[in-house]
Amino acid sequence: MVSTRNHPSNFPPPDAALTPSKALTKTNATRPRTSRPGSWTHTPSALTLTWLIISLPLVIWDMIYVFGRPYTMAGGSLSSPIYTPYILYGQVDRLYGIEAWEEHNGFTAAQTALNLIETVGYLGYLYIAYVHGEGERFGRRTLAGGWGGLACLLGFTVAVMTVSKTLLYELNDVFSGFRHTGHNDSLRLIFLYMIPNNLWLIIPSILVFVFGREILHGLAIASGDESSKPARAASPTKEE
C-alpha cells in the first residue's frame, strides 16, 4: 500500500488541477458555441435576402444595358433577345431611349455607375454573412462582434444609397417638367414606370429602418443601457 502521509493536502479535482488556460479550453470544448446573453448579434432578415436575390440580377442586367449602348438598344447586335424589353421601356422612359443617347445625356450612365457601387456593396454584405456567419442555413447565419457590426453598417449604408439614388432619379424627371415620362398615359406611366421604379424606393427604405434599428440597438448595449435587450439573445447553457 502506497503511503500518502507526506502529501500536504488531498488531491484536487481533475479540472482544478488544470491551469486556468487549459481549464477554459476544456470548458469551451464541451459546451455549444452560443452568444453571450446580453450581447449583440446580426442575422440577415428574410426580407433582406429575398430582395437581394431578386434585385441584384435585375440591376446587373440593367447595368449591362446602359454601359453596352448602343449595341444593347433597338437594332444593336446585343439587343435581341436579351434586351428586347428595353425597347418598350426606352419608349416609356426616354432617359433609356434613343433620344437621351443621341443627346449625350450623361445622367443615365451616372446613376448606373452608382448602381455598380451599390451592387459591390450588397455582394460584400452577402459575402460577409456567408463566410463569417455561424449557422447551418445561410438565411439563419448569425454574425457577432466586428463582422456583425461591419455587415450591418455596410447594409445600412448601401440601402441609404439606393433610396437616395432612386429618389434623385425620379426628382430629376419631376423638376425637368416630366420631360422624359410626360408623354405617357396614366396606365402606362403607373405600370411601366412608377411601380417598377418605386420598388427600389420602398423596399430599401424598409431595409434602412431594419439595419438602423439594429445599429442603434447595438450602440445601446455598448453604452450599458440595461433596458435594451437583444432581439435574438441565445439562452444560457444549463449547468449540470
Tell me the pLDDT of the chain averaged across its residues.
84
Q: Which of 118, 184, 129 is nearest to 157 (CA)?
A: 118
Residue 62 falls within a domain, yes or no?
yes
pLDDT tens, 153-200? 999 999 999 999 999 999 999 999 999 999 999 999 999 999 999 999
Cβ atoms within 10 Å of 95's Cβ, excluding its own: 21
pLDDT tens, 17-34? 444 444 444 434 333 344
SS3 state at 134: strand
The mean-pLDDT minimum among 32-36, 56-60, 64-68, 224-228 falls in 32-36
Classify residue 93 as exposed, middle or buried by CB count within 10 Å of its CB (0-12, 13-18, 19+). buried
Residue 191 falls within a domain, yes or no?
yes
Residue 8 falls within a domain, yes or no?
no
More confident residue, 139 or 59: 59
Distance CA 62, CA 196 (A): 13
C-alpha cell at 83: 434586351
Q: What pLDDT score does 10 carry?
A: 53
In percent, the amount of the chain with pLDDT more than 90 equals: 72
More confident residue, 139 or 144: 144
Q: What is the DSSP letter of 144?
A: E
Residue 39 falls within a domain, yes or no?
no
C-alpha cell at 8: 500536504
Distance CA 26, CA 15 (A): 9
Q: Which of 28, 35, 40, 30 is nearest to 235 (CA)?
A: 35
Q: Which domain holds residue 68?
A: 44-222
pLDDT tens, 200-212? 999 999 999 999 9
Contact 63, 120 (CB under 8 A): no
Distance CA 200, CA 162 (A): 7
The sign of the torsion formed by the CA atoms of 187, 189, 193, 197 equals: negative
Residue 114 falls within a domain, yes or no?
yes
Residue 186 falls within a domain, yes or no?
yes
Q: What is the DSSP letter of 130?
A: H
Residue 91 falls within a domain, yes or no?
yes
Q: pTM to 2 decimals?
A: 0.78
Count up the domains in the chain and report the number. 1
Residue 14 falls within a domain, yes or no?
no
